[in-house]
Amino acid sequence: MIKIFIKFRNFVTKNKLIENGDKVLLSFSGGPDSTALALLLRKLQKYIDFEITLFYFNHNLRDDSEEEERIVREFAKRFDFELFIKKLNFANRESNIEERAREIRYKELLKKVNEKGFTKIATAHTLDDQIETFLIRLIRGSGSKGLMAIPLIRDNVIVRPLLEIRKREILEYLKALGIGYVEDKTNRETKLLRNKVRNILIPLLEESFNPAIVKILNNEIKILTTNESYIEENACKIKDKIIRGEKLNIKLLKKEHPAIINFLIREYIKDLRGSLRRITYSHIRAISELKNGQKAFIPAITLIREYDFILPYVPNKIKYYEYSVDKIPFKLHINEIKKGFELRIVEQNKDFDDRKRAHLDYDKIKFPIKIRKRKEGDRYFPLGMGGKSKKIKDIFNDMKIPKRERDLMPVFTDSEGEILWVLGLRINDKFKVDSKTKRILLIEKL
């Protein structure tokens, strides 16, 4: 008993998992791991000044759920723990129920942190859980980030104080104390991959290959974590140049080391989806190898490469629209593309920026001004082209503007259909401001 506590205390203090003044919310199941963690934390309070509260989730999935909740309540009362209980309701046939339950638990834990001012969430993941996760992700084809398995600290709030302690040490500890716990019968069902790894693969590796396999794999995880930390530090220096909102500049990214490429593609996916769950190395590689116009299908999202960029694929659903402006000043909101514009007379040119505004000779324009969606075959005389006309489609291609953005760039014409300006492109040379201009029309995106 003393040995496990010293090991536990040294691990917590060395990694600063819990410190003086912390308010710790323990995700408690009543199983052996969380029961042992609750008792070890209670003992740790003699050395560190912090508070502990238990949070139990009743999943209502088994016939003995109410009995388990009763055992949890008795444990909390016996050892004087404050206890929160949350009942979860799932349809028995709900797919991926284990993952859904996990997502809901973390959501509720974080909600309680915000409501009650907790500083840490403690989960009872053990060294066995760490190795199981590593092997599962190895089997599924995860990259180095995934093979880091369970992080010691997540989001600066979730901590795993048991991550260096074996399951058998916990069982011996509880047996020596004479403390009972809730047993999850599903842990013995071999139809689940985690249970196969736990009950078949790891014992086989220990008995037939290397008795110290758990320690060896744990060291491999630490090496991967160190290496990944170095990659992350360098990748983050260029992240803002590579990832701009929903767009990833694959042309720039391809100039980097493969480790940086893989890391930033994962970051891009995480930013889009909110997590990297079910994302494997094959997904990362598929994205990195996309050619112009090709799509990559990854869980929950489809990506497409358009010229130098990777971005989410969105089928063209913008219907044709046309608005009319016959008086100035005027403010216009185009519902179809969710963009607003202001048209007004100004005395002098504002800062030049085709992406936001156009300056035109007001007296050369025949009103009303029409604002519409681009049409096939649209062409005009862009400023600086020496009086030559050019198709808008060809200009888009030259500028490598992604196809999904083209219909978000409205066309401004005069009453006779002569194009004045296209958002993001140069104005029509015929309507430029010159020395004879008396009134300047400013069209500006709001």
Q: Look at residue 221 in the predicted model and tell me its pLDDT.
A: 96
Instruction: Please check whether residue 113 is in contact with residue 121, taking contact to mean a CB–CB distance below 8 angstroms.
Output: yes
CATH 1.20.59.20: does it fit domain 236-312? yes
Residue with tokens 């600290």: 153
What pLDDT does 230 receive?
96
Amino acid at 332: L
| Closest by CA position to 257, among listed 236, 281, 235 | 235
Query: What pLDDT score was predicted for residue 91?
Result: 58
Sign of the Cα pseudo-torsion (92, 94, 96, 98, in order): negative
Return the structure tokens found at 78. 């016996």
Write the DSSP symbol of residue 187: G
Using an 8 Å Cβ cutoff, are 19 and 48 in contact? Answer: yes
Q: What is the CA radius of gyration of the chain?
A: 31
Domain 322-445, CATH: 3.50.40.10
Residue 345 pLDDT: 93
Q: Which residues of the chain have pLDDT under 70?
A: 1, 61-63, 90-96, 316
List, for residues 47-56, the tens digit of each pLDDT value: 999 999 999 9
What residue segments make up the domains of the chain, in order of their start?
Answer: 2-125+160-183, 236-312, 322-445
What residues contact residue 264 under an 8 Å CB cut-off, 6+ apart? Answer: 235, 238, 239, 242, 243, 248, 253, 256
- Between the alpha carbon of residue 360 and those of residues 262, 326, 384, the distances in Å are 46, 16, 15
> Tokens 């491999």 appear where?
220
pLDDT reported for residue 344? 94
Spatial CB neighbours of 143, under 8 Å, sequence gap ≥ 6: 262, 266, 280, 281, 284
pLDDT for res 92? 55
Residues in the chain: 446
| Helix, strand counts (H, E) of the chain | 16, 21
What CATH number has the domain spanning 2-125+160-183? Answer: 3.40.50.620
Q: Which two tokens stand for residue 129?
A: 């859980």
What pLDDT is attached to residue 134?
96
Q: Please name the helix (run of DSSP H) or strand (run of DSSP E) that holds residue 123, with its range, or none.
A: none
Q: Is the pTM of this model over 0.75?
A: no
